[in-house]
Amino acid sequence: MTTDTTDATDTVDATSPRNAPFAASRRERAQSLSGRVESRRFGTAVGPVRHVAEDRDRLAAMRWEHFDVKQLGATIGAELHGVDLSGDLDDDTIAEIRAALCAYKVIFFCDQFLTTEQHVAFARRFGELEVHPFIPANDEFPELVHLAKGPEMAGYENGWHSDVSWRIVPSMGAVLRAVEVPASGGDTLFADMCAAYDGLDDEMKERIADMYAIHDYMFVFGRFVPEDKREETRAQFPPARHPVVRTHPETGRKILYVNRGFVDYIEGFEREESDALLQALASQAELPEYQCRFHWEPGSIAFWDNRAVQHYAASDYFPNRRVMERASIIGDRPI
């Protein structure tokens, strides 16, 4: 494996005649290592992920009127402080929260002890809510998915995905509220799929530019559909054909829009080739440089832009209890 010596250049006194030739050669080497360095053994790369810098700096320069922001990842995730979600927020505040959602791609709120009504009311300010056909709902509010895990119900999270990408019109975003959190563990990780797209090389970008993937609920939710309901459910939710690269309807950013949870295959390829390409693309979500990780406390809320991120719930707390409720806002058909 080669080592990036970029930073070491600074430690050499190039003004000293004794060091001059050495400094020059170091500088040249550093310049030639402008990208990441491939490890031949594992096919991975080490060194700075430079393309995130522009977005990171753009986000750091943003100023907000209705709340304070603490950024979490380089290009993804921010805690919003100084806003009370239980109240009747004015339209300007809602518009600014929406702008922050589009910018940071996932936003977090702490110490918000919302009732279920307040949770639903807050999510509704961003659009109509969907009802999930497979996951159990809150007893009173069908538009709240109830995710209860514990000794009697082991988690099946552990997978990077974008919610309901098997719908023809997947959700725009989701507001997830902690109802009961384990003493440790149970974090949720988020990956910036705009940064993931930007990080692909030009050849791959060109290759996938006009590709479509077929998304299907069957892999994850098929087992919850009773035999006698299979045909009806299939007719209601046929496989959804979405572009592999979608364009964000509000920011105009390109997004790598494939996930291993729900994509069946990439159109136009034999199964093996499609699987290999899907693996290469979907695994971009696993790069820590594109991620942020959120630790839940009582009163925590996460609101993610489901068009721009994938998420992964860490199922490391079994048999302890973790109960969450999610309101999902209906989005646009990906283009």
* From 163, 192, 198, 305, active-site residue: 163
SS3 188: strand
Residue keyed to tokens 């989701």: 174
311 catalytic residue (yes or no):
yes
Alpha carbon dihedral 228, 234, 235, 239, in 10-degree steps, equals -170
Nearer to ligand SIN, 149 or 242 (CB): 149
Give the phi and the psi of residue 109 in degrees, each rounded to 5: -130, 140
161 catalytic residue (yes or no):
yes
324 binds ligand SIN (CB under 6 A): yes
188 binds ligand SIN (CB under 6 A): yes
User: Residues 118, 86: contact at Cβ < 8 Å?
Assistant: yes
310 binds ligand SIN (CB under 6 A): no
Cα 172 from Cα 334, distance rounded (Å):
10
181 binds ligand SIN (CB under 6 A): no
* From 26, 248, 307, 326, active-site residue: 326
Cα 33 from Cα 46, distance rounded (Å):
11
130 binds ligand SIN (CB under 6 A): no
108: which strand partners? 79, 302
59 binds ligand SIN (CB under 6 A): no
Considering only 326, 327, 329, 334, the residue that binds ligand SIN (CB under 6 A) is 326
Distances (CA, A) of 297 to 43, 78, 303: 38, 16, 15
147 binds ligand SIN (CB under 6 A): yes
How many residues interact with ligand SIN (rule CB under 6 A)? Answer: 8
Binding mask 211-250 for ligand SIN (x = CB under 6 A): ----------------------------------------
119 binds ligand SIN (CB under 6 A): no
Structure tokens at 83: 């806003």
Q: How many CA within 13 A on the CB side of residue 170?
A: 30
Q: Cβ of residue 289: shortest distance to ligand SIN, in angstroms?
A: 21
Nearer to ligand SIN, 188 or 259 (CB): 188
Cα 24 from Cα 15, distance rounded (Å):
11
**Annotated active-site positions, please?**
161, 163, 311, 326
What is the binding site for ligand SIN (CB under 6 A)? 147, 163, 176, 188, 311, 313, 324, 326
